[in-house]
Amino acid sequence: MVSRKSVMTLFCSPTCAYSHRTRFVLWEKGISADIEYIDVHHPPEDLIELNPNGTTPTMVDRDLVLYDPNIIMEYLDERFPHPPLHPMDPVSRARARMVIHRIDKDWFRLMDEIVKLSDKKAAKPRKVLRESLIASIPLFAAKVFFLSDEFSLVDCTIGPLLWRLPMLGIELPKHAEPIKSYAARLFEREGFQQSLSEYESEYPSLIDY
């Protein structure tokens, strides 16, 4: 899929969940793009020229440069409309965007805290994230995918987070089987497997816990 001669380039970290989200979309939609893995602590000069912050993911498509993972994901879905990963009608699309917003605010924010803090200080956000996921079990159980019968950008957002739970030190209880079943459906997708970097493919799996 990845063509070194393609116009589109995605600069990303091999371990960043936000970068993983965008790669998941790329592979699900079968988009040809250069994937450039970088060291976020020592970003290359060509990335700094495009994005002075040197953050990942950064996507370049001809003269367009995008820094935000959600904007990148939506752009890819609109630029390559088949298969669609966002609802077509405005109301459903707005609701999906709000779900992703809440996931970022409630779950990814806590994940970021866990990653940045020492193990002892990370105990609180780890506990909060675990409890929040457990409280959301009915949402995971309601549909085949998250709040939908169709695979969507919402699932592309959640998948990379769930893949990292064991690495974050979060173990789910037995009654969280709906979350594990949902995760298994995502992890088994060819797009998800192809989206994993070499580092991410070595993470312990939630399904095995």
Burial of 139 from C-beta contacts in 10 A (0-12 / 13-18 / 19+): middle
* The CATH number, out of the four listed (3.40.50.1110, 1.10.287.3510, 1.10.600.10, 1.20.1050.10), of the domain defined by the range 90-189: 1.20.1050.10
Q: What is the spatial distance between Cα 71 and Cα 66, in angstroms, rounded to a whole number? A: 7
| 81 CB-near residues (< 8 Å, 6+ apart) | none
pLDDT tens digits along 3-50 = 344 579 999 999 999 999 999 999 999 999 999 999 988 989 989 999
Tell me the pTM: 0.92
> Where are the domains positioned within the chain?
8-79, 90-189
Give the model's pLDDT for residue 209: 57
**8-79 carries CATH number 3.40.30.10:** yes
As a whole number, mean pLDDT of residues 70-95 equals: 94
- Reported confidence tier of residue 205, pLDDT bands at 50, 70, 90: confident
Asked whether residue 118 carries a pLDDT value surpassing 90, the answer given is no
Chain position carrying tokens 């709000």 = 98
Per the structure block, which two tokens stand in for 143? 């549909």
CB 146 within 8 A of CB 138: no
3-state secondary structure the chain: CCCCCCCEEEEECCCCHHHHHHHHHHHHCCCCCEEEECCCCCCCHHHHHHCCCCCCCEEEECCEEECCHHHHHHHHHHHCCCCCCCCCCHHHHHHHHHHHHHHHHHHHHHHHHHHHCCCCCCHHHHHHHHHHHHHCHHHHHHCCECCECCCCHHHHHHHHHHHCCCCCCCCCCHHHHHHHHHHHHHHCCHHHHHHCCCCHHHCCCHHHC
CA proximity to 46, closest of 30, 34, 32, 29? 34
Give the model's pLDDT for residue 206: 81
Asked whether residue 193 carries a pLDDT value surpassing 60, the answer given is yes
User: Which residues does the annotation mark as catalytic?
Assistant: 16
- Reported confidence tier of residue 60, pLDDT bands at 50, 70, 90: very high
- Reported confidence tier of residue 208, pLDDT bands at 50, 70, 90: low
Give the model's pLDDT for residue 54: 87
CB 56 within 8 A of CB 18: yes
pLDDT tens digits along 174-183 = 999 999 999 9
Q: What is the spatial distance between Cα 6 and Cα 170, in angstroms, rounded to a whole number? A: 39
CB 144 within 8 A of CB 180: no
Query: What mean pLDDT is reported for the chain?
Result: 93
Asked whether residue 2 carries a pLDDT value surpassing 80, the answer given is no
As a whole number, mean pLDDT of residues 122-131 equals: 97
